[in-house]
Chain A
Amino acid sequence: MKTKFIINEIYQKLFRHSLQSLIYICVFMTLFLILGFFWMGLSHVDKIYLNWIGNDHSIVEIKKNTSQVEVEKLKDKLTKLLSAKVEIQDSKKNIERLKEKNKNFKILAKDLDIDLSQILPTTLKVSFQSSGNVEKELDSFKKLKEFTRSDARVSQIYLPESHLRSLSNFYRSYKNWGFSFLIWVCFTVVIIHSLLVSHLLTLHKKEMNIYKLLGISPILVQVPYLIYTFLLSLISFLAALSIIILAQIYVKKAQFSIEIDFETKDYLLFFILIQSVSLIISAFITRYYLLELSDE
């Protein structure tokens, strides 16, 4: 009879008290998460990345008196070094293209009597193939920079600066993103979990009083409550976990080249964090607010 009572208590708590609360939880959780996604500017990250993919070439400027053969050699060397498409842009062709594009420039050059070949020497156009991996691409840029510094034939390199900037922005936001996301999930789960626990604690306290009046052993009431609270914690944790896993899948599908990677010990820590913080919060809520509402 006592075991039956305990099982019944847990059932009652799970399905009678909490069904409504669980529905609230789901609604709130969704709202919070949507808010969170906006807050973290997921769409922003998306745009930066796409923008960067669309404009991914750098210009390597070659010193004026470099022979055609040397240029070819350089091109081969670069192709080997980087997983990039390298195109030779002849000085004359560069000048023609520029004149075509910009009439003022032509006039200006004429007026000032500038040797355009000085300004527009032969260049190599380096287009990176997007590997979908931000770290790799940043690495390519680094290699390109080092190469141009060490090779005597190269006079200068023009990295697509704006793109670099957005790339590093993106890189930074990517680093933050996983973290913000985790914080946000924690926050959501903790808030909702504490509300639920304190709500139940109050109900439980009221019930405890009644059981006490009837001389029913407190253990008989505490055991199902503890089991119930533990189950609830487990549910909260699983909810948080499923959100993280869903996010991982989403991030993969959207090809953000982001990884939300956690180890088992992170999850454990995560679990303990949720538990302890929400316990403290719910204890406070119960102590200072809800119990006022219940009698004695």
Chain B
Amino acid sequence: MSLEVKHLYKSFPSGKNILNGAKFKVEKGSFTFIQGESGAGKTTLFRMLAGLIKPSAGQVWVGGQRLRFDSEYSLMKHRQRLGLVFQDFKLLNHRSVLENISLPLLNVSEKSKLQDRVHKMIDELNLKDAAEQKVSTLSGGQMQRVALARALIHDPDYILADEPTGNLDAKHSEIVIELLHEASQRGKTVMVVSHDNEMIHMFGGEILTLKEGQVENQVYY
């Protein structure tokens, strides 16, 4: 269950070359941080890994198989094995926390086992009091935790989290990174965009740095 990117190029119609032959490989069970300046293309890279946008050139390999960007169906299947935390959360604002977190369970056939996870996750992320609240009434930090809970609830094989601690205090940041780290130790492939070096040193892992459209270095801690 590795994730690999081969000679990835991405430019937008506006003319910018965001990715310029980026390549890297992360193994199953790895815990990887992605860094880079604002606008370096971190989110863009994630969106391609999730099959949300097509690369201009290059390939994405998932679990040893090439991702087929031309087939909506295989992209859908791919996303079902993905846990995504977006920078802007992408939650259903007029639905409750519980409903949002439970959404990915629609894809799971064996629900009974996972249903308990919802409440466990809500407990762990300190969302118990807000469980019935509409997402639109939550604070930024609460939304971020809901987004993380939604990404983890179906126990996906790959987790891509775009700045999952951006809105959180130190205590909650630690809880979040801890949860992600735990997942990687259970054999999930986890990639996190984060600038929180303290946290990175605390948990260890690899760091990929994006610069000028390329993965500059791969450092291991």
Contact = CB atoms under 8 A, between A and B. Distances in A.
Interface of A: 1-2, 5, 12, 16-17, 207, 209-217, 220, 295
A12 B95 contact: yes
Interface residues of B, number: 24
Given A215-B80, A217-B76, A5 B106 contact: yes
Contact of B94 (A16, A209, A212, A295): A16
Given A12-B95, A16-B94, 17 more contacts: A1-B106, A1-B111, A12-B94, A209-B90, A210-B92, A211-B103, A213-B52, A213-B79, A214-B79, A214-B84, A214-B103, A214-B150, A215-B76, A216-B104, A216-B106, A217-B107, A220-B106
Interface centre among A16, A210, A215, by most chain B C-beta atoms within 10 angstroms, is: A215
A215 B107 contact: yes
A166 B105 CA distance: 72
Nearest to A296: B52
B54 interface: no
B91 interface: yes
Interface centre among A17, A210, A212, by most chain B C-beta atoms within 10 angstroms, is: A210
Interface string B93-124: 01100000001111100010000000000000
Task: Summarize A's interface: helix, strand, loop or mixed.
Answer: helix
Nearest to B90: A210
B50 interface: yes
A217 B103 CA distance: 12
B172 interface: no
Contacts of B107: 214-217
A213 B106 CA distance: 13
Interface of B: 50, 52, 76-82, 84, 86, 88, 90-92, 94-95, 103-107, 111, 150
A2 B106 CA distance: 7
A199 to B, nearest CB: 13
B82 A216 contact: no
A107 B158 CA distance: 114
B92 A207 contact: yes
Q: Which 7 A-B pairs have the closest CB atoms?
A: A215-B79, A215-B80, A215-B76, A214-B104, A210-B90, A216-B106, A214-B103
A145 B93 CA distance: 75
B133 to A, nearest CB: 14
14 contacts: A2-B106, A17-B94, A207-B92, A210-B90, A210-B91, A211-B103, A213-B52, A214-B80, A214-B104, A214-B107, A215-B78, A215-B79, A215-B81, A217-B107
